[in-house]
Every structure is written in C-alpha cells, then in structure tokens.
Amino acid sequence: MPRWTVALIAFLALAACSTEAPSGELAGRTVDPPFTVSSQELVDTSGSPFSLTADTDKRLTLVFFGYTNCPEICGTVLGNLASALTRLDEADRADVEVVFVTTDPDRDTQQVVREYLDRYDPSFIGLTGELADIEAVAASVAVGMGEKLPSGGYEVDAHTTQTTGIDIADQAPIYWSQETSSAEFARDIHALLGKD
C-alpha cells in the first residue's frame, strides 16, 4: 500500500473519532477512545534510548513530529509551544514536557536536533532513531508521513502536523492543529492539568 494512502487512512480515522471542544473550553480536539502510544524506543539527543511511554513521567507530554529543515510549520509550532510554556505558572510548567521527534533522521542527527531545539527552548526533548521506529511511533498517534525527502526521511503530512498530548497513563486523548496559538496551548494545558 502506498505511503500516502496509509497517511490518508490515518488522517481520516483521526478526523472520524475526534470532536472539537465547544467554544470557551479546549482549543484542542479530543480523541475518544484515546490513542495508545507506542512503547517503541527512539534515541534522545544525548544518545540514550527514550520511549514516549517509559521515559515520560510528567502529567502531560506534548509531542510534535517534524524535521529541522522544515520551511515553515515546524518552526511556527515549536515557537508557539515555547511561548506557551512562558505563560504557565511554575506548578503547571513543572507538570509539562515537550518532545520533538524528527521525521528526517538521516539529516537530523542528535547534535543537529539539539542545536535546533535550543533555539526554541533548551528543555525540549529531541528524539531521532531508525526511520521504521519513528514511523511506528507516529502511526500510534495517527501522525501520517508525507512526501519523501531527498534524504530518505519524510515531510510531515500537511494534514497531520498536530501536536499530540500524552497523559500519565500513556494515552493520547487530545491533539492540537498547527494553527493553535501559544495562548490557546497555555489555556488548554492549565485546564488539562486540572488546576484552578
């Protein structure tokens, strides 16, 4: 089956099982039932194995799949996430982490990813690994791979450039579109953490 077909099926499945929150509530879209996140290990920027299930211990982990040579979307989303974190109080900030997973591992070495993320927020976790492993993790949260890059990696499909929220139970019950503002991210994070 062609890769674009798999991406389209994943996107349609995501759209079919998601609901947009009413105005004044969450900017993100909830997923019911939530996606079960793959435990497949990738590699962090220090060279250590890292799993989105075993190695994330915050109450909320925000995951974005992209690549460092991305012309627009990746930088915009990462910038909005970095700005959102500055809007949080200390208690909320302590319960959230951001993870960037490259979809272009041949070019996005550990050092390249670390330097890229440091421009946004040094606390962001960067992951790379074998392309097949990245694809498996992406598929578990309905992130489709787009067109093939010259390096052998993939653009993130324009329809699945979402940021996915993973809870403490290793489920992904919510995602946000690339248009989500930093204020909307911050408001949703606060609401999801259940703090007054």
Closest to 69 (Cα-Cα) out of 1, 131, 155, 147:
155
CA angle 25, 180, 152 (to 5 degrees): 135
State the Cα torsion 29-158-10-188 to the nearest 10°. Answer: -20
Entry pTM:
0.83
User: From edge to edge, which strands make up the β-sheet containing 96-102?
Assistant: 18-20, 29-36, 171-176, 163-167, 60-66, 96-102, 125-128, 41-44, 49-51
Average pLDDT over residues 134-139: 94
User: Which residue has tokens 């949703």?
Assistant: 188
Give the pLDDT of residue 194: 86
- Helix ranges (DSSP H) in 53-193: 73-86, 90-94, 110-118, 131-140, 182-192
Please state whether 142 falls in left (phi above 0), alpha (psi between -120 and 50) or beta.
left
Q: What is the pLDDT of residue 13?
A: 40
Mean pLDDT, residues 139-160 taken together: 70
Q: What is the pLDDT of residues 47-106, one digit of tens each?
A: 999 999 999 989 999 999 999 988 888 999 999 999 999 999 999 999 999 999 999 999
The pLDDT-based confidence of 154 (bands split at 50, 70, 90) is low
pLDDT score at 71: 83
CA distance 102 to 67: 5
d(CA 97, CA 170): 14
d(CA 173, CA 186): 17
Percent of the chain with pLDDT over 90: 72
Q: Domain-by-domain residue ranges, the chain?
A: 3-192
Q: Collapsing DSSP states into helix, strand and coil, what is residue 183?
A: helix
Buried b (16+ CB within 10 A) or exposed e, 108-123: bebebbbebbeebeee
Q: How do residues 27-49 score in pLDDT, each as one tens digit?
A: 999 999 999 999 999 999 999 99
Positive or negative CA dihedral for 40, 169, 172, 80?
A: negative
Q: Is 3-192 in CATH node 2.40.160.40? A: no
pLDDT of residue 160: 59
Rounded to an integer, the average pLDDT of 152-172 is 79
For residue 155, what pLDDT is reported? 62
What share of the chain has pLDDT > 70, as a percent? 81
